[in-house]
Amino acid sequence: MRAALVPMKIRPMDVKENFRRFVNRVGEAVKEGACLIVFPETTFTGYVWEKGILNRLSDSVPGPLTERVAEVVKAHDAFVVVGFLEREGDRFYSSALMFSPSGEILLHYRKIEEKPPFSTGDTVPMALTPFGKVSILICGDLFNDTAASLVNGETDLLIVPMARSFAGKNPDPERWCSQERTVYAERVKSIGIKTLIVNALEEGEGGAFGGAMVVSEKGEVIAESPHGSDTMILYDFNSG
């Protein structure tokens, strides 16, 4: 079984263009034999935080956009994880959804490590899949002790969509290699669950810096795409 980690290049606030890119990248991943395809945080919008923009770009779960995603998923017969800007009433969430090949939403996770005007989740659900028992955290949740403590101890695979950027230069390969890369690996080791990390590559200055990595439960970086890139990683679950 093969996973594709897609640090998709995202045009902030352009749902139409980002959906087009999403469809193309799903097709690319399936051609490479992937049956699990993972996208970054806020896949269709980029990470935004102004309330007026959130109100304009967010959607319900389920809703019109999730229905469109489900159709793409069914057409390609794969499990797909996307980051999603969710609205429920007057509340907004940075969420992540895992779709089954039939288009069913298997996991609906709301980010815990977040600030207003976002609301936050308070649970970490788990789903049984062909890849084992799967849970999701989003970006800063990986380093949030409360979020990490809510991950079920039976979880086999942790998926972490991100929209991480540095304050200042983005991307910054030297900073990534000398500082953050090891921190991520050590944090995964402390949690003790194999983890797929996928960061957005946002267009424009100061946006998320892209890249993706697979980290073993022992904190070993098994696979990695270049920092600052939207290069897809292919990972075979029987390879370690």
Cβ-count burial of 123 within 10 angstroms (0-12 exposed, 13-18 middle, 19+ buried)? Answer: exposed
Dump pLDDT digits (tens) for 22-42: 999 999 999 999 999 999 999
The predicted structure's pLDDT at residue 168:
81
Supply the range of the domain harboring residue 15.
2-239
Which CATH number goes with the domain that contains 190? 3.60.110.10
- Number of compact structural domains in the chain: 1
203, 10 in Cβ contact below 8 A? yes
Dump pLDDT digits (tens) for 181-196: 999 999 999 999 999 9
φ/ψ (deg, to 5) at 234: -110, 125
Residue among 225, 222, 226 nearest 236 (CA) = 222
* pLDDT above 90 as % of the chain: 94
Concatenating the DSSP letter of every residue in 13-36 gives T-HHHHHHHHHHHHHHHHHTT-SE
Dump pLDDT digits (tens) for 49-70: 999 999 999 999 999 999 999 9
Q: How far apart are CA 204 and CA 107, in angstroms?
A: 31
